[in-house]
Structure 1
């Protein structure tokens, strides 16, 4: 029986909880998902048994009691809660290495631990707003989509980290169409859903209520949905966002397209705060990430919850099996 390719985990910010939750997820999964961690083994929590390897395929021959590590010397220890700009270039390199290993067929997927963008900018002149934009550049694609996913809900915000008053300006028919197209394709190729059902939220309260609470739904969102239905997409909407996320409503779609950040993230974090996974659709490789940050305030204390990392690793493996 062929050994499945491992999921590689980029270390993320060494001073945050990334190394801790990666190690705890590896221990909890107990071989359920083959893993290789990329980083400086000196930054792993004390006592984590590990084995340095040079290529992901070497992990298959190791005891399940040791964490396989492709090691890089970052040059100095990690101090919990205190990011060191001197580590920045190495953190960036581990992300690039993970992408390269997946694209070269040596690994099945990349799971990224959280980074600290200011440390990367201060220490290495990191020119990207975040992980996603850097991964898009590495994948040579212009447009990607952020999906938050759990067992209970998949949801995609059509606009992300912008002020609320900018949403109606940046939310255009062309943008929404591309978000729907990328989400549809990602559900087909990476989740194995042949005919994805997408629910499209309205922008305004009550989806505009016939123009009395906003004009965008009648002016262009509903016509765009109708146009794409005629092209073969299985869409519903625009729907009032306040009635889209109860259990019966969720059973009628495979993913929801929200119009802005909080409209998407509030329901999934309410339903499954600890187990939500960040998935980037539109890349030429599989990327997942736990849906949390570096959590400097609890780093190094041994109390970080690895649930989201566990789910991110399991989802990466499942997506690789559907690709």
Structure 2
């Protein structure tokens, strides 16, 4: 077992949701321990309670520092912040659970900044609970950006055979077109290049989507947005030696990427990038925040309060998020 397996901190997310259950189910897989050194940042007693629903038979071991972790299959190391009661109501919004979810992430970022961990993998939090707990952020990504002092970041989605990074995400389509500009497109191309290089791709092949159908087809569609907003960014990146092409028609580009022509696609707006990924399978998709000083991967589903406590939540997205964290984490020296 190689000693350079990345150390991955898994944050428990909202304790009232499915996070504790999918974590216990995922860590039952011995293969995960062959490829990384995982531990949980959360509340040990809620992991123990979750195991009453999912029956993995794993033991939860409380640790107070990463150095104390043993990373041995059969035992779940938990960096125990001890913030929630053992009888926290399941499947309900609570300010305590929202605050705790924030604190787990804050702790993970501190460990990452100290170089104690190589990547963060997040179980879902609940935005309403987060806000009730006094932390007014749209979600994980914005907390991570704020606490690491990151101004330029992007959402990358990864599924088998396809990686997509976004120029804009959670804004309306008219706002997205207004927000796309050469500087932002260039920064996202750079982030794609640097993220894949750190993960071991020597010269990542990047393709950039157009904004309009057929990437504008030489002015036939749209009002010259490609020439104004995308072309200068691609040229600048090419001049720096980055292997990037575009803007290309999005309708054929994703097919070409899944065929292996490109390592990653730069999408201009949310649905342009999300649609193709979701077609490939919701349980396989992973949400990755790039541009941060630390790799962060996440499940691409929510807290699922309606099924929490039933032991039926599917852990595949979390296992895939762990795999991506392993793939993208900077390589530790032997």
TM-score, length of structure 2 as denominator length: 0.89
| Partner residue, 1:16 | 17
Matched, 1:50 2:53: no
8 Å contact from structure 1 (residues 152, 272) kept in 2: no
Relative distance call for 1:136 and 1:209 in structure 2 (3 A) is same
Within a 5 Å distance, the mapping from 1:1-323 to structure 2 comes to 2=3, 4=5, 6-30=7-31, 31-32=33-34, 33-44=36-47, 45-47=50-52, 48-60=58-70, 63-76=72-85, 77-124=87-134, 126-189=135-198, 191-214=199-222, 215-246=224-255, 250-322=259-331
Count, aligned residues: 320
- Distance in 1 separating the partners of 2:102 and 2:270: 26
SS where residue 265 of structure 2 aligns? strand
- Ranges in structure 2 where 5+ consecutive residues have no aligned partner: 53-57
Quote the offset at 1:223 in angstroms. 3.6
**RMSD, matched Cα:** 1.9
8 Å contact from structure 1 (residues 152, 271) kept in 2: no
8 Å contact from structure 2 (residues 206, 263) kept in 1: yes
Tell me which moved more, 245-254 or 91-100.
245-254
Relative distance call for 1:75 and 1:22 in structure 2 (3 A) is closer
Quote the offset at 1:206 in angstroms. 1.3
Quote the offset at 1:256 in angstroms. 0.2
- Distance in 2 separating the partners of 1:150 and 1:192: 18
- Distance in 2 separating the partners of 1:111 and 1:272: 20
Note the alpha carbon deviations across 1:292-323, whole angstroms, 9 max, x for none: 11122222221211111111112212322537
Note the alpha carbon deviations across 1:123-146, whole angstroms, 9 max, x for none: 22x132221111112212211111
- Distance in 2 separating the partners of 1:263 and 1:228: 22
- Distance in 1 separating the partners of 2:190 and 2:307: 39
8 Å contact from structure 1 (residues 29, 310) kept in 2: no
- Distance in 1 separating the partners of 2:220 and 2:258: 24
- Distance in 2 separating the partners of 1:261 and 1:70: 35
- Distance in 1 separating the partners of 2:158 and 2:6: 23
SS where residue 69 of structure 1 aligns? strand
- Distance in 2 separating the partners of 1:266 and 1:217: 21
